[in-house]
Homo-oligomer: A and B are copies of this chain.
Amino acid sequence: MSLPHALLTSLAERPGSGSDLAGRFDRSIGYFWHATHQQIYRELARMAEAGWIESLPEESTRGRKRAYRLLPAGRKELKRWIALGGQPAPLRDELMVRLWADAAVGPAGLAKDVRQRLQLHQDMLARYQAMERREAPPAADDRAAALRRLVLQAGLRYERYWIELLLEALKTLDPAPGAADAA
């Protein structure tokens, strides 16, 4: 389970409240590990309980911000977890199942969905490319910057992977490129 450690990492970069972290998730690492605000608040409470982090207003405050920051125990836990290792993420994608199902029970109007999804991945790619342009090229010996760049590259290439695949899917699903919508 990575959510607590993703939160620890974000807090290691700098302290923040639950909504801050939700925002950072939406903008950066969230592309590789999504979380809703409910999950985030629940995990923050657990980790405070465990002594990995602490919040500035100690008690629960409905409506007012609580600034969390990393404690030494949390940093230690994070380092322990990094080296731990784990399984490679089961790769669960509905669209693959849909393509396979379409092969089994005949044409069922999949092209429209594929086109929507293609658009989505193209948007994401543009977003990553904008991030890439903003990021300065890392100095030769800056390990941290090189790793962050690698994570960004993973996102870029992941979107390209899908875009290529979906374009080929369209060729099969919708042989006449200029034709009308979902059959």
Residues of chain A at the chain B interface (Cβ within 8 Å): 2, 5-6, 8-9, 12-13, 29, 31-34, 75, 78-79, 81-86, 88-110, 112-113, 116-117, 120-121, 143-148, 150-151, 153-154, 157-158, 161-162, 164-165, 168-169, 172-173, 182
> What chain B residues lie within 8 Å of A108 (beta carbons)?
79, 82-83
Partner of A32, one of B85, B89, B93: B93
Instruction: Name 19 A/B residue pairs within 8 A (Cβ), A-sorted.
Output: A2-B94, A6-B100, A12-B101, A29-B97, A32-B96, A33-B94, A33-B97, A34-B90, A79-B108, A81-B98, A83-B113, A84-B113, A85-B112, A86-B95, A88-B121, A99-B150, A100-B148, A157-B161, A157-B165
Q: Is B92 touching A32 in the complex (CB atoms < 8 A)?
A: yes
> A97 vs B104: C-alpha distance in the bound complex, in angstroms?
37
**CA distance in complex: A150, B89 (Å):** 21
- Please give, as numbers and ranges, the residues of chain B lying within 8 Å of A157 by CB-CB distance: 161, 164-165
Flag if A151 contacts B2 (CB, 8 Å). no
B151 touches A172 (CB 8 A): no
Which B residues are CB-close (under 8 A) to A143? 103, 107, 172
Do residues A168 and B144 form an inter-chain contact, with CB atoms below 8 A? no
Say how far A91's CB is from chain B's closest CB, in angstroms.
6
- Complex copy number for this chain: 2
Contact of A103 among B91, B105, B144, B161 (CB under 8 A): B144
A89 touches B100 (CB 8 A): no
Is the Cβ of A150 less than 8 Å from the Cβ of B121?
Answer: no
Which residues of B sit under 8 angstroms from A113, Cβ to Cβ? 83-86
| Cβ contacts under 8 Å, A84 to chain B | 113
Asked whether A12 and B104 contact (CB < 8 A) given A92-B34, A161-B161, the answer is yes
- Besides A99-B150, A103-B148, 13 new A-B residue pairs in contact (Cβ under 8 A), listed by A number: A2-B97, A6-B101, A29-B96, A29-B97, A29-B100, A33-B93, A33-B97, A79-B106, A81-B98, A86-B94, A88-B162, A147-B173, A153-B165
